[in-house]
Structure 1
Amino acid sequence: MRIFQFEEIRSWQKAKELTIGVYQCFSDSKDYGIKDQIQRASVSVMNNIAEGFERQTNKEFIRYLYISKGSCGEVRSMLYLAKEFKYITDEEFEKLYNLSLDATRLISAFIKKLNEK
């Protein structure tokens, strides 16, 4: 299946869902350090997928996908802090954590597919 726009990429769609969830959960947070870091990391997941796609070479795209995957890990790490400090509920943690894992899995599968070409 040929992809014509980054918006068609499932991992980008999942990353967008993660970013929206992060912004919703942290909209009222007064800890601006954690709020800013987790928001920037979540945006990085989706933006690196988009930027890598627009580079139009598999080699560069894969490099950006790895960066995106790393940002997913950063989001999960920040979620542990947010949960520990009680900035988010256990339910919010689970939702965002699972979205991040889903995005990571999709990105990993995409990297594997691109490496096969």
Structure 2
Amino acid sequence: MRVHLMVSRMSKVERFEDLIAWQKARILTTDIYQVSQQGAFARDFGLSGQIQRAAVSIMSNIAEGFERSYLEKFHQFLSIAKSSCAELR
């Protein structure tokens, strides 16, 4: 059974790229990369790399979960994405 999420009564999300959460995670990742490559932050390779990976993890887990066959698995990956949000924060 393929997971279909309702966007409205008229349409279903067919691709993870259409999820607003994934779109916002992609923007966040771009912003994190820009900020972490400036000033003293850029010289702290460990910290900048870790927050970059956490940001990528958010959007990756949303995408991977969406592609799973069962809603339970999608929820599991959303939980992992939420944990990556906490790490990034």
More helix by share: 1
Unmatched tracts of structure 2, length 5 or more: 1-5, 7-11
Deviations 1:9-32 (A, max 9, x none): 010011111100000001240111
1:71 aligned to 2:71? no
1:44 aligned to 2:54? no
Q: Which runs of 4+ in 1 moved over 6 A?
A: none
More strand by share: 2
How many correspondences in the alignment?
76
Deviations 1:49-104 (A, max 9, x none): 0000011210100000000001001111xxxxxxxxxxxxxxxxxxxxxxxxxxxx
Of 11, 23, 28, the residue aligned with 1:18 is 28
Please give the alpha-carbon distance, in whole angstroms, between the structure 1 residues aligned to 2:49 and 2:35.
12
Alpha carbon RMSD of aligned pairs, Å? Answer: 0.8
Q: Report sequence identity in percent.
A: 49
Q: State the secondary structure of the residue aligned to 2:13.
A: coil
Q: State the secondary structure of the residue aligned to 1:56.
A: coil
1:35 aligned to 2:48? yes
TM-score, normalising length: structure 1: 0.63
Unmatched tracts of structure 1, length 5 or more: 77-117
